[in-house]
Each structure stands twice: as C-alpha cells, then as structure tokens.
Amino acid sequence: MLLKNYKTIFLQELSTLYDEKEIESFFYLTLEKFHQKKRIDLALHPEMEMDTLQREQWESVLSALKKQKPIQYILGETEFYGLRFLVNPSVLIPRPETEELVDLIVSNFKSKVSNSTLKILDIGTGSGCIPIALKKNLPHAEVFAIDVSEKALETATKNAALNSVEVTFLLKNILETEDLGQQFDIIVSNPPYVRNLEKAEINPNVLENEPHLALFVDDDDALLFYRKIAQLAQKNLNPNGQLYFEINQYLGKETLELVESFGFKKVILHKDIYGNDRMIKCTR
C-alpha cells in the first residue's frame, strides 16, 4: 500500500479524537520510527510503499492512538532538548516546559564552567532527561540524580547510555532523607506538583497512562516536595550554590515565599513560553 494513501486512512480514523495538526504529527513521528523517513521524503517520493509487516506496525499504532495512549509511549521514545530518550509508563513524558528549565541552567553556567568540577543533583529524575541534557551541555560537570522508583532509574540509566553521558543514579526517597551526604553547586527538581483538584484540567491520555506518583500531590500539602528539597538544599548546597525548581503555575507566589522563608537569596520567578509562572531560581 502507498504510504500517502495510508495517511488518508490514518487521518480519517483519528479525526473524531484529535485535531488534524496533531494527527499529522503522529503520522510523521511514526513514519520516521518505522521507515526512517521525514515529511519531505514522502513529499518528494509519493510512490513510497509499506510492506505487510509495516502495515501491521502502523495498524498497531493506530489502534493504540484510538485508545488515547500517548504517541511517545506507543513508539517508546521522544525528543528532549535535541536528544533522544526512551520512555515508558514508568516515567513521565518530558515536557517543553522542562526543556526551558534545562535551558535556564545551561545558559547560566555554560560560560562559567572552569577547570573546577561543577556538581549537579537532579531530584526526582524520572526518565533522566534533566541530568542527561545538563551533562551533555555541561560536559565538565559531575552529575547525580535521585528517584524513588527503581523502574524509572532503569529507564534513566538506559537513556544515559543512549546519549553517551555519565550520570550517577541513586535510589532514594527524598521525603525520608535528612542529608544528601555531599555538597553540590546546583540542585534542580521538577517534583510532583499537580493538585488533585486540578485533575479536571489534565488530558485523559495523561491521567490514564502517565505515573501518578510523579504527577500528583495532596491538595492540603501541595508544596510538600518543595519544602523538603529547600530544607536539604540549605544543608547540601555550597555557598552561593543555586537551586532550580519547575513549579505549579497556580502556586508561583506561594512557592516563591516558601523558598524565601528558608533564607535563599536572589529568588527569581520565571515564566514559561506560554506566560505561566513555571520556574524558580535562587541562591543559597
């Protein structure tokens, strides 16, 4: 079957669930995964065909998309900060907002890295996207990452190897940790921050597929992780070390005040590309 003809079927089959632009995105991601071809290749070679095995693969993707499974989980991979990452239901799918967090750190430190080693810790690493992207762009840094999930750390370890970087991954429950055991120049975290009351705003494909452990916090203590990490950062950041958070857009003021209450200096609240309060940077 010609791929251009299957594209028509693909669009029709999914038209009641997704908008056309999103379906086209799914189509071309799958095209690249199964055929190693891009949109321009199909445009230039409309005679491209799929064989029986490839047709079965496409039908499997189509079936999963009809169940609103995220395309990243279906294909088993995604792109983050220009790098390829393996993803599965044990880890969150990396978001563009988190790319902004990484970019904030990289832009602050890329020109400052000297012969002395920069030590970085990511707390709640999931797929490992933050520490791996940081190590790739700050190669002289010594990078560590913590997560409470063994399965997440297995995925993160594979992603470090996939991207040819060295990151030290540690299995640890941060809420039960009183001291990190060493000092760091940067501590960064994108902890769970979505309140249960905000579940109505979450797309069903996220609610039904992505790990709730990495997403949600109780309504009555939404800043639990920020409080604990700020407390540890006061002990385990070097003087003038920096703490970076991705935050709940609705709790920018509250999170900023919490960080200030721990004595951090130069506390700055950054907005994301959508204009939402999304990141905090501060100095010990």
Structure confidence at residue 33 (pLDDT): 93
Instruction: Name the band, by pLDDT with cuts 50, 70 and 90, for residue 197.
Output: confident
Q: Is residue 192 part of a domain?
A: yes
Structure confidence at residue 208 (pLDDT): 83
CB 246 within 8 A of CB 278: yes
Number of domains in the chain: 2
**The domain containing residue 249 runs over which residues?**
77-283
Provide the CB-side half-sphere exposure for 23 (13 A, CA): 17
Same domain for 83 and 63: no
List, as one string, the DSSP characters of 104-133. HHHHHHTTT--SSPPEEEEES-TTSHHHHH
Same domain for 84 and 200: yes
Structure confidence at residue 206 (pLDDT): 81
Number of H helices, E strands in the chain: 11, 11
Domain end (from 47, 67, 87): 67
Phi, psi for residue 174 in degrees, rounded to 5 = -65, -30
Q: Is residue 40 part of a domain?
A: yes
Query: What is residue 269's three-state secondary structure?
Result: strand
Structure confidence at residue 111 (pLDDT): 72
Same domain for 183 and 49: no
Same domain for 124 and 7: no
Find the distance separating the first CA and the last CA of the chain, reported in whole Å: 61
Q: Is residue 72 part of a domain?
A: no
Structure confidence at residue 110 (pLDDT): 80
Q: DSSP class of residue 266?
A: E
Mean of the per-residue pLDDT values of the chain: 93
- Mean pLDDT along residues 231-254: 96
Model pLDDT for residues 120-151, shown as the tens digit of each residue = 999 999 999 999 999 999 999 999 999 999 99
Same domain for 88 and 7: no
Model pLDDT for residues 72-115, shown as the tens digit of each residue = 999 999 999 999 999 999 999 999 999 999 999 999 888 765 55
Query: What is residue 84's three-state secondary structure?
Result: strand
Model pLDDT for residues 23-70, shown as the tens digit of each residue = 999 999 999 999 999 999 999 999 999 999 999 999 999 999 999 999
Same domain for 54 and 162: no
Domain end (from 24, 48, 67): 67
Same domain for 91 and 40: no
Q: Among 137, 105, 130, which Cα is nearest to 243's?
A: 105
Q: What is the CATH number of the domain that holds 82?
A: 3.40.50.150
Same domain for 272 and 132: yes
Structure confidence at residue 102 (pLDDT): 97
How far is the C-alpha of 265 from the C-alpha of 268, rounded, in Å? 9
Name which residue leads in pLDDT, 217 or 226: 226
How far is the C-alpha of 127 from the C-alpha of 132, rounded, in Å? 9
Structure confidence at residue 114 (pLDDT): 57
* CA distance readout (Å), 10 to 5, 205, 255: 9, 19, 44
Question: Longest C-alpha distance within the chain, in Å?
Answer: 65
Same domain for 195 and 121: yes
Phi, psi for residue 268 in degrees, rounded to 5 = -125, 130
Query: What is residue 200's three-state secondary structure?
Result: helix
Structure confidence at residue 113 (pLDDT): 52
Highest mean pLDDT of the ranges 53-57, 117-121, 241-245? 241-245
* Contacts within 8 Å (CB) and 24+ apart, 177-182: 177/228, 177/232, 179/232, 179/235, 179/236, 180/121, 180/232, 180/235, 180/236, 181/236, 182/119, 182/236
Domain end (from 25, 49, 67): 67
E strand intervals along 108-252: 119-123, 142-147, 168-171, 184-189, 194-195, 216-217, 237-246
Same domain for 27 and 127: no
Q: Is residue 253 part of a domain?
A: yes
Query: What is residue 62's three-state secondary structure?
Result: helix
Phi, psi for residue 198 in degrees, rounded to 5 = -95, 5
For residue 116, pLDDT beyond 70: no
CB 243 within 8 A of CB 264: yes
Same domain for 54 and 170: no
Same domain for 61 and 104: no
For residue 3, pLDDT beyond 60: yes
Structure confidence at residue 219 (pLDDT): 82
